[in-house]
Amino acid sequence: MDGKLIDRIRGARRIAALTGAGISTASGIPDYRGPEGVWTRTPGAANAFTRKNFLADAAVRRQFWRTYAGHAAWRAEPNAAHRALAGLDGAGVAVRVLTQNVDGLHQRAGLAARKVLELHGTMRTTRCTGCPARFPTPEVLSRVENGDDDPACPHCGGILQLDVVLFGQMLDGEVLGHARNIEAASGLFVAIGSSLQVEPAASLCTVAVRAGVTLVVVNREPTPYDEDAAFVLREDIETVVPELCAAMAG
């Protein structure tokens, strides 16, 4: 690893990490825009993740629920990168994770839920679009597997949706504002495994740089924010993130 990078991050006491799909690929969850990504292999699959299409078309909803009924995230375990971030927090460094992922692996690795900001929601719960009801997603998927392929809310008959932000939906303003505050107060901002193509989450990099925070990008493919970064690492995430965390804890 670059000696200048190690010197810059050694002994950092406050860090924020923006994590994307690339941090979970080693756990068996495919990313979206990489060479073997979900959108790369089947571009039409994105239609099921568009809010307008999801609400308007029962066939789209059926495709969506089939996708999540067999999703790899239900079987996935945290990998070395997730564990390294949790371990860094355990070593006394103030760690906050801002994640675009909905898989919950940061929490399962041992990072306290209050230290993980799920920018795009979570697949672990499902909500009704017509009333305040929420349900554990496995309960809804059990209905899907038993033949109810477009499950409706048992309380009001409304359309059910995973607690995730679909294309065409706005991020929660309070969550986004909290993310910006976390970044501006950190000494180091590391973007890990994100294509940095989805806004407004990706623009958090700009927030960090303007606040004078050191930006490090860790991603196997180029991103739109590489030129703003103090350091860009194309190395294997499961290898380099533990190395970064060890340097920060040193």
State the Rg of the chain over Cα: 19
3 state DSSP class of 120: coil
Q: Is 106 a catalytic residue?
A: no
Q: Integer distance in angstroms from the first to the last C-alpha of the chain?
A: 15
pLDDT given at position 26: 94
From the list 71, 120, 155, 178, the catalytic residue is: 120
pLDDT given at position 34: 57
Mean pLDDT for each 10-residue chunk of the chain (250 residues)? 83 92 94 56 65 93 89 94 96 95 97 96 97 97 95 98 91 91 92 93 92 94 95 96 91
**Sign, Cα dihedral of 87, 234, 185, 224:** negative
Q: How far apart are CA 69 and CA 142, in angstroms?
A: 8
Show the tokens assigned to 86. Answer: 């949790």
The beta strands (E) that lie in the chain are given as: 14-19, 94-99, 116-118, 121-128, 134-136, 160-164, 188-192, 214-218, 231-233
Q: What domains can you pick out in the chain, each with its CATH number?
A: 1-29+78-120+171-250 (3.40.50.1220), 35-70+124-164 (3.30.1600.10)
